[in-house]
Structures are given as C-alpha cells and as structure tokens.
Amino acid sequence: MSAIRESRPSLHRVPRASSAWRWALLAAHAAVAVAWWQLGWRFGLPLLVATHLAFLWGALRPRSAMYGPVLSHLPIDDRRVWLTIDDGPSDDTRALLDLLDAHGAKATFFLVGERAAARPDLVREIVARGHGIGNHSHGHPQARFWSLGPARMRREITQCQDTLRAITGIAPRWFRAVVGHANPFVSPLLRECGLARVAWDARAYDAVRSNPAAVVARLERDLSPGAIVLLHEGARHGRNVEMIALLLQRLHALGYATVLPEELEDGA
C-alpha cells in the first residue's frame, strides 16, 4: 500500500509562489514595444491585441493552468468518476443526498458561502453522509468573477472558506472557480487557504438546459475512467434532481462507480 501511495502523484496541488505569468506579460509587452518601434503600428497593434487575448484566454478557459495548477481529470484506469455538484446548498440538496445514498454513490458539493450560511443544516448533512465539500466562492459573482481585483477576490474565496469551516469544523481542500474562470489574483489566495483548483472534463450545461435525457446523453459522451463530472443543483428550471437520477442510472448501466479524490490519495 505504501508503494502505491509513493508512486501516485499528488492530486491536491496548491499553487506555489510564482511570478511566471508576470514575467511572461512583461516579455510579451516588451516584444510588442520592439515590434511597434521597428515595424510600426500596423504590426505592433495586432501583436498587442493578440497578446492580451492570450492572457484573457488563460483566464476564461477552465482547464488553463496559466494562473496556477488545475485538476481536470483523475489519473485512474478503472471505471470510476468524480461527481461534483455546484451552487448549493439549495432546495435540491436533501433529495440529492437521498438519491446518492440509494445508489451508493459519493459526490463533492462545491458550495456557495452565503447560501451555506443561510442553510448550515444542509451543509452539515452533506458531511455527515460521507460526501465532500468544496469552496465555490462566497457570493457566486457569475458575470464578473474573471475580472475581480485582489480585494474582492480575497473576500470571495476566504469568506467562503471561513464560513464552511465554521459550519463543519473542516476546512475545504478543493476550489471550483465560478464558471471555471480564474485570474492572477486567484492562486495567491488558494495558496493561503490550502486550496487546490478543480475544473472538469464532462459537462452538459445542466444549469441552463432543462431536458434531462439530452443532458445525460451529452455527459455520457464525455465519460471515461477518471472523468470529473460537472453537475449543478438549484437551477431555475427545477430539474437537476431528475437529471442526476437519470445520470446515476446510466452510470450503473455502463458499469461506472463513483470515487472521491481523497480515496485515491489514501491509496484506494
């Protein structure tokens, strides 16, 4: 067992202190300045735009590691997947817990701090039933998370962390960025809180799409051993429980089980 633990790379990768992105930005702008000076604005301006688009793409692409490490797939070969459920707690939470219990499945709930503070009983129940919890920001600023400055980003990440720790006595280890976006101010706070960022490799936009069969069919196309499956609860269409029920049925039919990353770190 110890040999297995030693050979498996750590899944929980907290960002290290690094200024690589700053040096890259400075180098890119220096190249733009030289091009503008030597070749004129017709070359310099497009190069400037391309440089900024590259750094913006790093912020908006959920799997991008430009601003720090991100886990998007579990390194296993057998048919197990990690179910992650965002945006709770909600009116769906207890029904989802019953559903997961009925299928012998485990999931990690990425919780919004202010919603957790309003419904601490549900947060405690998630933990009591053997599921994981993760940090999904305090207020879920969906439209502008990617552009938050350092002070607001600090409030979003640390306040959620403090809220979940106060409710459960457990400090979350995983962070799911809002809409999967990041920027240079995320990694220092994750390092401070001991958090590792998690993305996904199977999604079906179940927070906005309301057809359970279509959602599950889309997810099924992206299933593979070690897939991190992105799910939601509490969507306005009110069908998340139905969707996850259908997904659990399909997982069983396809021979898939669920796993939490902590189990892999323990050598399971």
The predicted pLDDT at position 65 comes to 83
Output the pLDDT for position 73: 97
Hey, is 49 helix, strand or coil?
helix
What's 201's DSSP letter?
S
- pLDDT for res 143: 84
pLDDT in tens, 149-188: 999 999 999 999 999 999 999 999 999 999 998 988 899 9
Query: What residues are annotated to the active site?
Result: 86, 232
Q: Cis before residue 15, ω within 30 degrees of 0?
A: no
> Which pLDDT score, from 0 to 100, does residue 2 have?
37
Distance of CA 151 to the CA centre of its chain: 21
Residues 172, 196: Cα–Cα separation, whole Å: 9
Task: Give me the pLDDT at residue 233, please.
Answer: 98
Tell me, what's the pLDDT at 1? 36
* Residue ranges in the chain modelled with pLDDT below 70: 1-9, 17-60, 267-268
User: What's the pLDDT at 7?
Assistant: 45
What gap in Å lies between CA 173 and CA 210, rounded to an integer?
A: 31
Beta bridge partners of 259: none
**pLDDT at residue number 64:** 82
In order of 13, 175, 182, the CA distances from 160 in angstroms are: 20, 10, 16
The answer to whether residues 68 and 186 touch, using CB atoms and an 8 Å cutoff, is yes
The CATH architecture that domain 70-265 belongs to is: Alpha-Beta Barrel (3.20)
**pLDDT score of 40:** 66
pTM of the predicted model as reported, rounded to 2 decimal places: 0.85
**Domain extents in the chain:** 20-60, 70-265
- Alpha-carbon distances of 36 from 9, 27, 31, 47, 51, rounded to whole Å: 45, 14, 9, 9, 13
Element (H, E) at 148: none
Buried b (16+ CB within 10 A) or exposed e, 17-33: eeeebeeebeebeeebe
Q: Give the list of residues 6+ apart from residue 81 with CB closer than 8 angstroms, or none.
A: 74, 202, 223, 225, 226, 227, 228, 229, 251, 256, 257, 258, 259
